[in-house]
Amino acid sequence: MSPPAELGVYLLEIIQELAGEENYSVMKQAVMEVVGSHFRPEFINRIDESVVFHPLGRAHIRSIAKIQLLALEARLKERDIKFSISDAALDKIGEMGFDPVYGARPLKRSIQQELENPLAQAILSGKFSAGDTIQVDVKDDQLYFVK
């Protein structure tokens, strides 16, 4: 049996090759054949249903990032700090937090490391305070924060 990461990469290749609504049933069948060749029938027979997800695109990642950022925005609002992020910054966060095998799962960690932690340090150092509006944008391929 192949390690799970290798199986994930192989399944991703199949999904990308067959992506699209018109190929969904073919894609699902191909994925299930690969699953069948890697797992014992006793395990597969215990599965009631399988769902094959379509690969995420930029628009999906941006939407997920916006949803994730609502929590940060709410926490800043409690401190009377407004938050604004440019589309370029959203795309940058999406690039940093997207993995073709794991999808958008790393996005939350990316938001924490690239936005939340630096913002917390800036607030603690006095760069931003109550009444400010923090604007996030991209410059020289890096996120930056301004009032």
The domains of the chain are located at: 4-44, 58-146
What is the predicted pLDDT for the residue at 82?
96
- Residue pair 98/104 in contact (Cβ under 8 Å)? The answer is yes
Q: Is 126 left (phi over 0), alpha (psi -120 to 50) or beta?
A: left
Is the CATH number of domain 58-146 1.10.8.60?
yes
pLDDT exceeds 70 at position 39: yes
User: What is the C-alpha to C-alpha distance for residues 143 and 38, in angstroms, rounded to an integer?
Assistant: 42
Q: What is the pLDDT of residue 50?
A: 75
Eight-state DSSP code of residue 125: T
SS3 126: coil
Of residues 4 and 51, more confidence is placed in 51
pLDDT tens digit string along 115-128?
A: 999 999 999 999 99
Query: pLDDT for 71-117, tens place per residue?
Result: 999 999 999 999 999 999 999 998 888 877 777 888 999 999 999 99
Residue 21: φ, ψ to 5°: -60, -35
Rounded CA separation 12/17 (Å): 8
Residue 85: Cβ within 10 Å count: 22
- Is the pLDDT at 3 greater than 50? The verdict is no
